[in-house]
């Protein structure tokens, strides 16, 4: 799997978690909203090198 596919999947997952977070906050479930927030942080920190590799490439 190349880096473009990895970043695309990670962005889809992160966007989905953000929508779930907004829904839970809208329903007033503040404590439960911590789950997608912490998952999103964990996924982004775990895959930081993938993001760094993809976004730091220079066009030739």
Q: Which long-range contacts (CB under 8 A, 24 or more apart) does 22-30 make?
A: none
DSSP states of 28-55:
T-TTTTHHHHHHHHHHHHHTHHHHHHHH
Residue 14 to residues 7, 18, 33, 59, 60: CA-CA distances in angstroms? 10, 6, 14, 26, 29
pLDDT in tens, 3-58: 889 889 999 999 999 999 999 999 999 999 999 999 999 999 999 988 888 888 76
Helix (H/G/I), strand (E/B), else coil: 25: helix
Q: How far apart are the first and last CA of the chain?
A: 22
Q: Whole-model pTM above 0.95?
A: no
């Amino acid at each position: 799997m190349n880096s473009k596919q990895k970043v695309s999947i990670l962005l889809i997952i992160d966007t989905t978690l953000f929508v779930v977070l907004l829904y839970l906050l809208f329903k007033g479930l503040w404590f439960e909203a911590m789950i997608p927030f912490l998952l999103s942080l964990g996924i982004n920190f775990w895959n930081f090198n993938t993001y760094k590799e993809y976004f730091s490439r220079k066009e030739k």
